[in-house]
Amino acid sequence: MTSLVSEKRIILKPIGIVRTEAVGDEVKDKTRISHIIIRNELAEALEGIEDFSHLFVLFWLHEISEEQRKTLKVHPRGRKDLPLLGVFATRTNLRPNPVGLTLVELVKAEGNVLTVRGLDAFDGTPVLDVKPFDAWDMAKDARVPGWWTKLEKEKAQPR
Amino acid sequence: MTSLVSEKRIILKPIGIVRTEAVGDEVKDKTRISHIIIRNELAEALEGIEDFSHLFVLFWLHEISEEQRKTLKVHPRGRKDLPLLGVFATRTNLRPNPVGLTLVELVKAEGNVLTVRGLDAFDGTPVLDVKPFDAWDMAKDARVPGWWTKLEKEKAQPR
C-alpha cells in the first residue's frame, strides 16, 4: 500500500532534562533514582502530578547519530544468538525517531523537579513529555516472542 | 533548581500515517480497527513485529496549533466540575510536545501495513514510532487521583 506520508518535519523542544549520577549500564538498574528538571516556565504544568504513582517519560536519545537512525534491523541487545529483527519489533535505541519511552515510579514532585525511580536515561538526556500512567496503558494478556521471554528470564537471574 | 535545558530543537520525520474510517469521537472506540501505513523504505523494520500482541504507538497530534502548545493548565476533558490541573498531570492533547501515546492490539502485520485495534488517532495522523509492549510497561499497583477514577467510572457506563 502506498504510504503518502507527509515529508513535513516535526519540531520538538525539550520540556526538561534528566539528572542522574548513574553512568553506563547503571541507568538500567530499576531501583535507581533520577531527577527530571522541568523548564522553569513549564513548572505550573506539573500541578496535580503528585497524585499519580507512575508516569511515562518520553525522552530524546540524543546520543544516536543520523547514521544510526537509518538502522532497519538488529539482533536484540546485539546478541547474534537471537534472530535478526526489524527495529520496530524491538526496543532498540537505533530507530528512525529515537524517542525513549519508560514507565517510572514518581517518588516526589517539588517545584520544577520530579524525582523518579527506574528511568533508564543518561544524565543530560532531553525530556520530551511526561504522562500519567493508568490501567488503559496495560495489557494483562500480552503475548511476546520466545526470544523476548528468554532475555527477560536472563535479566531475572542474579548477576 | 535551574534547568539548563538545551534550546536545541529536535527534528522528527514521520515513519508512517494512520488510516481509519472513524471520524470525530468514533476514534475513541477501543474496538475500532485502524491501519498504520509505514513508509515503504521502512517496511523491513517491521520484521518480527507480528509475534507481539500489543504495541505502543507514538503519533504526532498534528491538529494542535503552536498557540495550543503553550497551554499549561486544563480541566480534564474540559469539565469545569473537575480540578484545574497542569497539562503533565493529564493526558490532554494540549501539551508542549503534542505526542500521543496509545497501547493498541496488533491484529495483523502485512507488508508495510499494521492493522491495529484501539488507536485513538484521526485519519491522516503522522506516526512517529511503534514499540512492542511487555510487562516492564505495566504497574499493577498504580495509584491515580480521585478525578481520574471518577472519569473512568463514567466511561464504563453504558451510553
Mean pLDDT of B51-65: 95
Q: What is the mean pLDDT of residues B95-109?
A: 96
- Residue A33, chain B, CB below 8 Å: the answer is no
Closest chain B residue to A136, measured at CA? B103
Contact A6 B58 (CB under 8 A): no
∠ at Cα A71 (A67, A77), nearest 5°? Answer: 115
Chain A CB contacts of B132 below 8 Å: 88-91, 144, 148
Residue A7: predicted pLDDT: 65
Name residues 38-77 of chain B within 8 A of A (Cβ): 38-40, 42, 44-49, 51-54, 56, 58, 60, 72-73
Q: A 75-94 residues with CB below 8 A of B?
A: 83-91
d(CA A148, CA B125): 30
- Residue B58: count other Cβ atoms within 10 Å of its Cβ: 21
Q: Do B37 and A3 touch (CB under 8 A)?
A: yes
Substitution target from B59, B60, B88 for chain A, most A beta carbons within 10 A: B88
- By CB atoms closer than 10 A (0-12, 13-18, 19+), residue B71 is middle
Average pLDDT estimate for B87-96: 96
Cβ distance A126 to B6 less than 8 Å, yes or no, reads yes
Q: Flag whether residue B138 sits within 8 Å of chain A, measured between CB atoms.
A: yes
Q: Is A137 on the interface with B (CB under 8 A)?
A: yes
pLDDT per residue as tens, chain A (159 positions): 555 666 678 999 999 999 999 888 888 888 899 999 999 999 999 999 999 999 999 999 999 999 999 999 999 988 999 999 999 999 999 999 999 999 999 999 999 999 999 999 999 999 999 999 987 777 878 889 988 888 888 876 554
Instruction: Specify the amino acid at residue B131.
Output: K
How are beta strands B99-110 and A73-74 bridged, if at all?
Answer: unpaired
Q: What pLDDT digit, counting tens, does each position of B59-87 carry?
A: 999 999 999 999 999 999 889 999 999 99
Q: Is A11 on the interface with B (CB under 8 A)?
A: yes
Dump pLDDT digits (tens) for A113-154: 999 999 999 999 999 999 999 877 778 788 899 888 888 888
**Beta carbons of B129 and A95 less than 8 Å apart:** yes
ipTM of the complex model: 0.92
- Rounded-to-integer distance, Cα A68 and Cα A60, Å: 14
| Interface size between A and B, measured as CB pairs under 8 A | 276
- DSSP secondary structure string for all residues of chain B: ---------EEE--SEEEE-S--GGGGG-TT-EEEEEE-GGGGGGGTTGGG-SEEEEEEE-TT--TTGGG--EE-GGG-TTS--EEGGGS--S-SSS-EEEEEEEEEEEETTEEEEE-----TTPEEEEEEE--GGG--TT----HHHHHHHHHHHS--
Query: Residue B133's Cα: distance from chain center in Å?
Result: 14
| Residues 6+ away with beta carbon under 8 Å from B46 | A86, A88, A89, B38, B109, B112, B114
Cβ distance of A86 and B52 shorter than 8 Å: no
User: Is the pLDDT assigned to residue B157 strictly greater than 80?
Assistant: no
Of residues A4, A12, A143, nearest to B53 (C-beta): A143
Show Cβ contacts of residue B26 under 8 Å, excluding neighbours closer than 6 positions.
Answer: B32
Report the length, in residues, of chain A. 159
Q: What is the pLDDT of residue A159?
A: 41
- The C-alpha atoms of residue A144 and residue A126 are separated, in whole angstroms, by 30
CA distance B11 to chain A (A): 5
Half-sphere exposure of B154 (CA within 13 A, CB side): 8
Close Cβ partners of A157 (under 8 Å, ≥ 6 residues apart): none
- Kindly identify which residue of chain A lies nearest to residue B103, measuring between CA atoms: A137
Cα(A3)–Cα(A156) distance, integer angstroms: 41
Average confidence (pLDDT) over B139-155: 85
Mean pLDDT of B42-59: 97
Q: Do A1 and B37 lie within an 8 Å CB cutoff?
A: yes
* B96 shares contact with chain A (CB less than 8 Å): yes
Identify the pLDDT of residue B159: 41
Average pLDDT taken over every residue of chain B? 91
Mean pLDDT of B125-142: 88
On whether the CB atoms of residues B46 and A86 are closer than 8 A, the answer is yes
pTM attached to this predicted model? 0.92
What is the per-residue pLDDT for A27? 87
- Mean pLDDT for B39-56 is 96
Among B133, B16, B135, B91, smallest CA distance to A129 is for B91
Do A72 and A88 touch, CB atoms closer than 8 A? no
Residue B8 near residue A58 (C-beta atoms within 8 A):
no
